[in-house]
């Protein structure tokens, strides 16, 4: 019996040594220590062992079980660790490799300028107004005191879709839309795209405007000047001056063109202001009472102030861009300057 046990231990040692996978060592465990394993089989032979030798043989069997258990468990630990090590090797990340570069975009200079202008007016109590780019003739022209066949239509070449539907030529259409739906007081600022069939260094068939409208009981041209001065000084710098020149728009009376003192040369005269010291950036005026009445607002009780400006033009002045077309080419090298 003793030799049998010693032989079994030798066999087990060899089997453990030859185990190279966890599955294999598991089989070895079952083969030697399992319910029907070799050691159990040996124990069954105990009945043939003489009585006096049994305690001794029992001790050998127990020692053999402990030894084989220890050997298989140690091997199991080694194999499990080896498996983890191998996995770590396979899945290791080479941190010296170059990463994938994802370029960060930036806002377009026109968007930056439009956001800045809207921010200035919202900080002065204006709210955002909106209207469609595909517009009815009614809102774009008629309610703004430009009836069909009126010569004032020549001021704005128009893309017509049908006789009544067009691509809006200005954001002033939002004035009419807002006034028919809103009770005064009104203070809105409306950025948006507008369309006209012009295309050269200072015109594009699509461009952006920002419209402003105030309707209240006691507002005057002086308020308009103060408002636009505050705006201009926040957009450029606190030394910026505002000049009104008489003009004509069918929807305002009186109407003015608004010039700002040149932010580049501060009035001395330079390339940007074409030597005049002034830059024209807005059309504005006191809303024509006919427009208020057309939109259902009592022109005896209320007055309106309105203004409109071109976003591209302001961006060109603010960033010293000589040709409007650069703003539409979207050359990444140019756009990167605005990060
Ligand atoms: N809508 C005019 C244009 O596109 C700009 C303008 C002028 C808007 C005077 C106004 C205004 O609100 O009062 O040329």
Residue 236 has pLDDT above 90, yes or no: yes
Residue 127 has pLDDT above 80, yes or no: yes
- In CATH terms, is domain 109-338 a member of 3.30.930.10? yes
Cα–Cα dist 57/49, whole Å: 8
Q: Which atom of ligand 1 is nearest to the CA of 170?
A: 4
Q: What is the percent of the chain with per-residue pLDDT over 90, rounded to a whole number?
A: 65
Cα–Cα dist 94/268, whole Å: 61
Least confident range of 86-95, 189-198, 273-282, 299-308: 86-95
Express each pLDDT in 255-291 by its tens digit.
999 999 998 888 888 888 889 999 999 999 999 999 9
Q: Report the pLDDT averaged over residues 198-215.
A: 91
Look at residue 219 in the predicted model and tell me its pLDDT.
Answer: 96
Look at residue 302 in the predicted model and tell me its pLDDT.
Answer: 98
Strand boundaries in 196-311, DSSP class E: 206-216, 242-249, 252-261, 278-287, 303-310
Distance 79 CA to ligand 1 centre (A): 82
Cα–Cα dist 137/154, whole Å: 14
For the chain, what is the mean pLDDT?
92
* Residue 169 pLDDT level (bands cut at 50, 70, 90): very high
**Atom 8 in ligand 1: which residue has the minimum CA distance?**
308
Residue predicted with more confidence, 276 or 38: 276
Residue 183 has pLDDT above 80, yes or no: yes
Name the 3-class secondary structure at 339.
coil
pTM of the complete model: 0.71
- Token pair, residue 255, equals 């109407």
Residue 210 has pLDDT above 90, yes or no: yes
**Atom 5 in ligand 1: which residue has the minimum CA distance?**
308
Helices of type H across the chain: 2-17, 22-33, 38-44, 54-90, 109-123, 137-140, 173-181, 221-235, 289-294, 311-319, 326-329, 332-335
Distance 308 CA to ligand 1 centre (A): 4
Q: Report the pLDDT averaged over residues 166-184.
A: 97
Task: Using most ligand atoms within 8 A of CB, pick from 170, 171, 212 the residue to mutate for ligand 1.
Answer: 170
Is the beta carbon of 307 within 6 A of some atom in ligand 1? yes
- Those residues whose C-beta lies under 8 Å from the C-beta of residue 147, and which sit 6 or more positions away, are 141
Distance 331 CA to ligand 1 centre (A): 31
Look at residue 1 in the predicted model and tell me its pLDDT.
Answer: 77
Is the beta carbon of 145 within 6 A of some atom in ligand 1? no
Distance 283 CA to ligand 1 centre (A): 5
DSSP state of 200: B
Distance 310 CA to ligand 1 centre (A): 10
DSSP state of 183: P
Is the beta carbon of 288 within 6 A of some atom in ligand 1? no
Q: For the chain, what are the domain ranges? A: 2-90, 109-338
Sign of CA dihedral 194, 322, 249, 119: positive
260 in Cβ contact with 279 (< 8 Å): yes
Measured CA to CA in angstroms, residue 278 lies from 121, 245, 322 at distances of 23, 11, 16
Cα–Cα dist 232/243, whole Å: 11
C-alpha gyration radius of the chain? 44
Q: Report the pLDDT averaged over residues 218-230.
A: 97
Q: Residue 231: what are its φ and ψ, rounded to 5°?
A: -60, -50
* Residue 5 pLDDT level (bands cut at 50, 70, 90): confident
Q: Which atom of ligand 1 is nearest to the CA of 211?
A: 12
* Residue 200 pLDDT level (bands cut at 50, 70, 90): confident
Cα–Cα dist 92/69, whole Å: 34
């Amino acid at each position: 019996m003793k030799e049998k046990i010693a032989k079994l231990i030798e066999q087990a040692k060899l089997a453990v040594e030859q185990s190279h996978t966890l599955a294999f060592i598991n089989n070895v465990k079952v083969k030697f220590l399992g319910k029907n394993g070799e050691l159990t089989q040996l124990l069954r032979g105990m009945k043939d062992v003489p009585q006096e030798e049994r305690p001794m043989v029992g001790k050998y069997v127990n020692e053999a079980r402990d030894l084989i258990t220890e050997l298989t468990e140690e091997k199991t630990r080694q194999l499990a660790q080896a498996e983890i090590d191998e996995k770590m090797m396979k899945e290791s990340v080479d941190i010296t490799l170059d990463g994938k570069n994802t370029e960060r975009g930036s806002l377009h200079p026109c968007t930056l300028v439009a956001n800045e202008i809207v921010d200035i007016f919202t900080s002065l109590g204006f709210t955002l107004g909106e209207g469609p780019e595909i517009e009815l003739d009614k809102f774009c022209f008629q309610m703004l005191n430009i009836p069909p066949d009126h010569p004032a239509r020549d001021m704005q070449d128009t893309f017509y879709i049908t006789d009544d539907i067009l691509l809006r030529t200005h954001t002033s259409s939002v004035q009419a839309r807002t006034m028919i739906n809103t009770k005064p007081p009104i203070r809105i600022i409306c950025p948006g795209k507008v369309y006209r069939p012009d295309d050269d260094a200072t015109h594009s068939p699509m461009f952006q405007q920002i419209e402003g409208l105030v309707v209240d009981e006691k507002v005057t041209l002086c308020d308009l000047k103060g408002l636009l001065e505050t705006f201009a000084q926040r957009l450029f710098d606190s030394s910026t001056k505002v000049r009104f020149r008489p003009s004509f728009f069918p929807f305002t009376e009186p109407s003015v063109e608004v010039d700002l003192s040149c932010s580049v040369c501060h009035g001395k005269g330079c390339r940007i202001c074409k030597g005049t010291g002034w830059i024209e950036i807005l059309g504005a005026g006191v809303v024509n009472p006919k427009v208020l009445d057309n939109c259902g607002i009592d022109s005896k009780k209320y007055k309106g102030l309105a203004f409109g400006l071109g976003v591209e033009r302001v961006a060109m002045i603010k960033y010293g861009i000589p040709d409007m077309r650069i703003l539409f080419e979207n050359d990444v090298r140019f756009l990167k300057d605005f990060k």
